[in-house]
Every structure is written in structure tokens, then in C-alpha cells.
Chain A
Amino acid sequence: MAVNDSGPPEIPLQDGDVVDLAAERRRSGVDEVLRALDQELVGLAPVKARIRQIAALLLVDSARARFGLSTNRPNLHMCFTGDPGTGKTTVALRMADLLKRLGYLERGHLVAVGREDLVGQYVGHTAPKTKEVLKRAMGGVLFIDEAYYLYRAENERDYGQESIEILLQVMENQRQDLVVILAGYKERMDTFFQANPGMSSRIAHHIDFPGYTLSELEQIGTLMITRAGYQLSPDACATFRDYLARRRQQPRFANARSVRNAIERARLRQASRLFDSHATQVSRDDLIGIQPEDFLASRVFTQSAEDVIDHA
């Protein structure tokens, strides 16, 4: 239904006709999203490849629909697994945009929720709460972060189960109205799916987000610093790399999120360095430059791995 809205008038094409796939592609603007995905997100090669596949499938499907070939809407519910800070939410946002451009979603907004938004606190509270969230997400993507918290194996009277049942029902019956994306750690998600086979079978695309390599993290960090209007001094580049290498080995490392926090703290230290230096004049270079000492003051360099706590 949604597919037809965006296309030209629906007269089933005949055997001899052809569909201009390139024109369809231009009109939908898929390539812009894919290009933005390639350029703005560092690494994540398997994820990008998978999204390209999905985009191709959907584009070909809508061309097929014009010949009256496949009329049933493909299942688009997805599961994103990966460590924290690997870009799951960001990719979900792009996915919502992509699906809207291809005509599979009406609005293309993203509603990000967790267990507390779906599950109620007393009998009869859960169903209205879950339904309200589902209604808000209709026309877009419902992104459920750490979805495995919905199911608590140790408590069989947990209201999470009720929420899952409503979700399943809507995922099945209103596939044309919303796309559900579940996200979380790989292992815990697998356990969740084992306990809820109904959920697993309704999800067509399982996409695993690999952790970033050191050079990818460095690239992400440099990108963030440039976007914030700062610059690493040549010495600081090496220190930053060293910082990332050490931070990666420590517990509670949250990939890009930790990088962002590290940069935030470096900005704080840079500001107080300038503040405390009692310099009367500061140049533009002083204001945008981040020096090695802004990173070296971090506990990552001064403490052993065991007692570092990330204040993220």
C-alpha cells in the first residue's frame, strides 16, 4: 500500500514493459542515504553492506510490484546486536530515513524506548503503556534498546511478557505501519530469542555491529574533534592514539561513546588550562588547539586498569 503511494499510477505492467530502475533509484534518493552512511560512519563495513542489500531488495521489490509480481510486503523488523557505542542508534535513524525514501514508511521518525517505557508497574498498566508507545511509533521505526530486559526469566509473573505479546501482535498485524528494531548485546539477545521464539521468527534481519579497531576509533575521534571546532596538535595525535589504546583495554569501554566522553573531558581540561594560565592574550590557535597534556591528565594514564571507573 505504502509502496504504491510513492510510485507513478499503478497500472500493472505487461510482459514486454521495462522499469527504469536507475530512475526509480534517483527518485527515491536511496543513494544519498547510502552515501551519507558510507561517509559519516567510520568502519562498520558488514553493517553497511547489509543495509545496501536491504535497500536493493526493497527497490527491486517495488519494481516487481509494478509488474504485479510480489504484492505482499516484506518483513522489515530488525535486530541490531553489538557492544555499546557501536552506532546502533545512529544506523537505526538512517534506516528510518531509508525506509521512508523507499516508501515503506509514511513518516520515517524514530521512537527510541527502553523497558520502562513499555512495561507497567501494576496489573493492567502494561497494555495501555505498550500500545501508547506503539501508536506513537506508527509510520516510523520503534527502536527498543536492550530489548532483552523485557523478558525476565527469573520472574514468571513479570509484566514484560505481556508487553512482548502485544509487540508480537502488532509486529505481525501492522507490518505496513511500523518497523521494530531491537538492539542490545549479542549474547543476551540470543538468550532472549531462545526464550521467545515467536520474536525471533518475526525478525527478518539480524545485523551484528562489530567493535571498532584502534585506527577506526582514532578516525572517529578526529572526526568528532574537527566537528566540535578543535584541532589536535601533532604531539596530541600520538597521545590520543596512546590514550585510546589504553582505554580500550579497560573495563566498560563503550566504543564511540567513550571516545566522545574522552574528548569532552579533554575540552574541559583545555579550557581550565587556558583559564589557569593567567595569559592575558589567547590566539585562535590556543582556543582550538588540544595539547598532549589535556589527555595525559586522564586517569587512564595514571591508574591501573582495575580501578578506573568510566564516568560516562
Chain B
Amino acid sequence: MHLTQGTFSHLPELTDDEIKAQVQYALDRGWPLSVEFTDDPHPRNTYWEMWGLPMFDLHDAAGVLFEVNECRKAYPERYIRVNAYDAAKGRQTTAVSFLVNRPAAEPGFRLDRQEAADRQIRYTTHSYATGRPTGRRYADPWP
């Protein structure tokens, strides 16, 4: 299952040049960028692990791409995303957030139904990957 999260997620995978162009767009607007990674792709998991500190005072996208590549080297089998934060008064929010790396095989999600009182059904999505301990979720091949 191809994970779709964040900006551009319904487009084909961005190439490095496209990532660079998007990062440069953010830099030109004065948004600091950060790189984050995770192996828990649940859509409600908003707290990914930070790859280093957010990057301030950059002029060129090459600096961000450098960190993305370092992160890819260290965690090739994880989801990696790039966030751009708009600190402008009145905004103060993530302006762009997009995936730049994903594991080779993505097992996807299972829908759980919980029967509650009065014939209510509660739905939960469960990531198959989280059935394995963290760090080994994508290391071994998925059937």
C-alpha cells in the first residue's frame, strides 16, 4: 500500500530535483525547514522523530537536501518527511510537509471494528508494521 500523507502525496514520487525546487520555494518565503523520520506511519502519529534541529538561516536548498540524504543513509527503511514552518504572525503553522523517503515494501493498514454498547461500531486503523518492534518494522521483507 502506497502511503499518502502530506503535501504532494497523490503525485508520483518527487525526484531530488523536485524536492530541491519545493525546498527552495519554502526558503524563498523565509520558512525554516526540518527533517523528520518514523517507522510508525499511522496518520494520527503527528510526533515523528527529529533528524537534527530545524534549519534556520539557510539560503539554498542544497543544505536541506544534504540532511535528507544523511537521514536516508541512516534510515533507508523508514518514512522521512520535510516540514516547512511558517513563523509569520497570524500563521505560525506548518506550511508544507511532504514525504521524501519511504520503505521499499509498505504492508498497509488493517481496519478493526469494536462492538460497543447499543450495537455501536467503533473503527480503528491499525498499521501492520507496528506489529513488529520498532527498528525492525521494515528491515525484514514483508510477505
Contacts and interface: CB of A to CB of B under 8 A. Distances in A.
A177 B62 CA distance: 6
Interface residues of B, number: 13
Contacts of A134: 63, 66
A174 interface: yes
Nearest to B67: A135
Interface in B60-83: 60-64, 66-67
Given A135-B66, A135-B67, A174-B66, A140 B60 contact: yes
B141 to A, nearest CB: 31
B52 interface: yes
A115 interface: no
Contacts of B63: 134-136, 138-139, 177
Nearest to B17: A1
Contacts of B59: 107, 109, 136, 138-140
Contacts of B58: 135-136, 138
A128 interface: yes
A106 B64 CA distance: 14
A174 B61 CA distance: 13
B140 interface: no
A128 B52 contact: yes
Interface in B63-105: 63-64, 66-67
Given A135-B67, A136-B57, A106 B62 contact: yes
A135 to B, nearest CB: 3
B55 interface: yes
Interface of A: 106-107, 109, 128, 131-132, 134-136, 138-140, 174, 177-178
Interface of B: 52-53, 55, 57-64, 66-67
The 9 closest A-B pairs by CB, nearest first: A139-B60, A135-B63, A177-B62, A138-B62, A138-B63, A138-B60, A107-B59, A107-B60, A106-B60
Given A128-B52, A134-B63, A139-B63, 10 more contacts: A106-B60, A106-B62, A107-B59, A134-B66, A135-B64, A135-B66, A136-B57, A136-B58, A138-B63, A177-B63
